[in-house]
Amino acid sequence: SQELEQSPQSLIVQEGKNLTINCTSSKTLYGLYWYKQKYGEGLIFLMMLQKGGEEKSHEKITAKLDEKKQQSSLHITASQPSHAGIYLCGGTDTNAGKSTFGDGTTLTVKP
């Protein structure tokens, strides 16, 4: 089964700084998604990537998927305290069925 590894495990940045979170799959993915989770709450869908080389942006968050569809990065520009939380990458290796998730990256943004 596929494995997803996220790095770093945790990240502390000063407000206004840029940051990147990485997600690497052991297999080629059919689809990859990024979620944000506030401690003790559910998952908030951020973005979904399906095509090799695809890049999507929403407000100050940009996600990319490499051509081989095994590696993704999430980049936050000019971070704010509202960006704090746990970022999870998830992926499927088929067009339907279960998702595998990374262990998450805990982001702290210091004002």
- Cα dihedral 24, 48, 93, 84, rounded to 10, equals 40
Minimum gap (Å) between residue 109 Cβ and another protein:
21
Which of the ranges 18-26, 55-63, 71-79, 101-109 carries the binding residues for another protein, by CB under 8 A? 101-109
Give 40 or 111: the residue with its C-beta nearer to another protein.
40
# residues contacting another protein (CB under 8 A): 24
Distance CA 72, CA 66 (A): 6
Indicate the residue among 44 and 78 with the shorter CB distance to another protein. Answer: 44
Among 22, 27, 46, 48, binds another protein (CB under 8 A): 48
**DSSP letters of 43-111?**
EEEEEEE-STT-EEEETTEEEEE-TTSSEEEEEESS--GGG-EEEEEEEESSSSS--EE---EEEEEE-
Least Å from the CB of residue 107 to another protein: 15
85 binds another protein (CB under 8 A): no
